[in-house]
Chains A and B, each alone.
Chain A
Amino acid sequence: MSDSEEEPGVQPCPKCQAENALDAAYCIACGAPLAPAATAGGGGVRSRRRARATGDAAEQARARHEFARVKNSVLAVRAVFAASAIYAVVQVLLWHVVLARLQRSVEFAGSELDQWSTVVSILGWSQVALLAAGFFFVLRSPLIWSVTGACYMTLSVALALWASDFSISVASLIGLFTVVALWFAVGQAARVQRLMAADPKLQIVRKRIDPSRKVVGGVADEARERRRLEKRRTFRSRLRLLGAVAVLLVIGGVAIWQVTKPPSPDATIAAFAKAWQAGDVEALGGLFVDGPASRRAIGLREELERRGWQQSMPALTAGTLDDRGDHAVESYTCTGEPLRVMLARDKFGWHVTGVSLPNYEVPAFASGLAAFTAAWQAKGPEALVDMFRPTSRERLGSALKRMLEKRKWTEQRPALGEVPKGKSGDVRQRLLIPLEDGELEVVFEFWHPSWRLVGIKLPQE
């Protein structure tokens, strides 16, 4: 018996020739299925064909598993090639259009433009050819074409950055990202190429199954259908949840908007119009932010009194509102002139900040001057005191009487010199009237219906 003969009770593996038990179905060394003893002789030819894939069953299974995971990176590189080729074609065509237009202008000489056209053609179409070749051949030689694509993209991005003085734009960021992704894909492509070299059955592109070999029905199809229905159920439930969330958000948003919506100035404007029509000066003053005792409210009262409107005010036409967010202006027409009400909003609401009353015509000052001259020449101080405004008559009148008593001018006063005429149109007149020994300073204001004395300064003793 020769050494090469099999030992009784063992069978050799057709792939690795390791000894296995007679009842074994798989080789314990490499995991290959063991052929039956009757066909062991013929299994030699079959085992030579199977031996093309290197490694044992576990390594082949691991290789298939890893190949299924990483082959998509090569498909992604192919997509990048396709997109870059299309972009390059568009670029080249645009350049040709630009050069054709330039040819019609007088800026370039003919031969120089022809050179540019030739260079653009060669560069552009060679780019397109390189990228198209990458698209077609990357599935056969993933590593070489991935490296080519990565080098090409790195060079293009480097040149683009250099030309733009390293300014970062969206295009340059996309280019940098593509460069990083392509160099990452080079590692995956190297892995794919090694796996394909180790097992020729591994192919990147899945071939269509021959219809005669296709198995319809069975547990795989049932599982696939089950997964499909489950995915649809999940999708619908998520869609419903999303819809509910969207409705809640809309309702909540509307509610918040309503609650936080700033109040409109309409109420304050209506209150102003009502108080104006009723002639209620106190109510008008109450619309100011600091109330009827505020400086602005007092100023409005005085302006109304000056015009003689303190009891009743002329009618207002329909107002127009100019809303400027936190400020507003309501414009009316009163006695043919514009009347504007300025409003402002604070945390307590809208308030009146100012009222611009219409202009009025000031009567001639001569009447007031004549009245003062007559009062100065009259006996006693009563005529002069009567020239003060009723609201300040008592205070200013008593002060004047004291000053006149002090100078013994109560009954008779020195004669006035040449009285100045004053400036026509001014609502306030300040006059310096010469006396025998000094000057008399008097201030008049027009308070409807007459000129009133608001200040008097006797000459120094």
Chain B
Amino acid sequence: MALQTLDIQRRSATTTPSPGVRQTTEVAKLIDISKCIGCKACQTACMEWNDIRDEVGSNAGTYDNPRDLTENSWTVMRYSEVEVEQGKLEWLIRKDGCMHCADPGCLKACPSPGAIIQHGNGIVDFQQANCIGCGYCIAGCPFNVPRISRKDNKAYKCTLCSDRVGVGMEPACVKTCPTGAIVFGSKTDMIQHAEARIVDLKERGYAKAGLYDPQGVGGTHVMYVLQHADQPELYHGLPRDPAISPMVSLWKGVTKPLMSLGLGLVALAGFFHYVTVGPNEVGDEEEEV
């Protein structure tokens, strides 16, 4: 029996239910962008705990370093300079990475059984041993998160430190954050915590402060407190209403079972035709020349 904290509630390319007698507490990581100072300690802690090292890149004129998520950088700080009000420059710094959707597009798209799993606590985790490197998870993800390694052709992303969470610890980024901008706990507690923060932010003049927990993907297990929740795009293009692409839903929703059934029926129709109508043989009267 697996650890209760690591119970699996959903598995990619699996049509029968996963073990589900236990009710595991849903967890969430809450990132309060108004408290982030962009120190990148979380990036460093992520590299350290997960033992991943990216290549040293070059400066592209922003603080974004590395410039994008990679198989070796599961979280990256995104720096956006915006003027929401004329003449009032704001530096919005968003910790980008997997959002751990309740309805994960990657898991829906994945063709390999058990290559992507969703734990009972909501964490979406890639099992690289089962990954075939097809990249369907990339097509499925509404947040552009998974990355395939050029070294081993396996997909990688933030695990929400499932190995730490499984033994009762918080993720490495949460542990290290010096300003308390990242907190971790049950999803209910995190929503409550966010509400208090939003009240505070509103008092401080951010009338549109709010929680980012997009319902288009069933809510997420990584949530943001945004100063400008009405304009999530300001935060390096955070999608306003993310959802699994309709093309992916159609592909993995209706077509998958219907087309499989269709092919079976075509083959069966052929067989039934043979045993009822019978083969078309050359008639006797045609035989003589």
Query: Are A and B subunits of one complex?
Result: no
